[in-house]
Amino acid sequence: MPAQIATATPVAHAALLGLGVYRPRRVVPNAEIVDRINSSDEWIRTRSGIEARHWAEADETIVSMSTAAARDALEAAGVTAQQIDAVILATSSQMVLGPSAGAVVATELGMHDTAAFDVSAGCAGFCYALANAANLVRAGQARHVLVIGVERLSDLLDQDDRTCAFIFADGAGAVVVGASDEEGIGPVAWGSDGSQTAAIKQDKDFQQYFAEVAEAEAIGGTTVRPYIRMNGAAVFRWAVTFLEKACRDALDQAGVSAEDLDAFVPHQANGRITDALVRALHMPESVAVARDIAQTGNTSAASIPMAMEQLLRSGESKPGDTALLLGFGAGLAYAGQVVRMPAIS
Active centre residues (catalytic): 123, 267, 298
Per DSSP bridges, beta strands 52-55 and 86-90 are unpaired
Rounded distance between C-alpha atoms, residue 77 and residue 144, angstroms: 10
What are the start-end ranges of the E strands in 221-305? 228-230, 263-266, 288-289
Farthest CA pair distance, the chain: 75
Rounded distance between C-alpha atoms, residue 71 and residue 74, angstroms: 5
User: In terms of Cα–Cα distance, which of 53, 133, 120, 116 is closest to 93?
Assistant: 120
Note whether 176 and 145 are within 8 A (CB). yes
Burial of 210 (0-12, 13-18, 19+ CB in 10 A): exposed
User: In terms of Cα–Cα distance, which of 78, 74, 95, 58 is closest to 21?
Assistant: 74
CA distances from 106 to 116, 148, 237 (A): 7, 11, 39
Q: What angle do CA 295, 90, 312 make, to 5 degrees?
A: 40
Torsion of CA 278, 284, 285, 288, to 10 degrees: -70
Q: What angle do CA 237, 241, 243 make, to 5 degrees?
A: 110
Note whether 310 and 290 are within 8 A (CB). yes
Rounded distance between C-alpha atoms, residue 55 and residue 58, angstroms: 10
CA distances from 174 to 129, 136, 146, 344 (A): 11, 17, 7, 11
Note whether 318 and 294 are within 8 A (CB). no
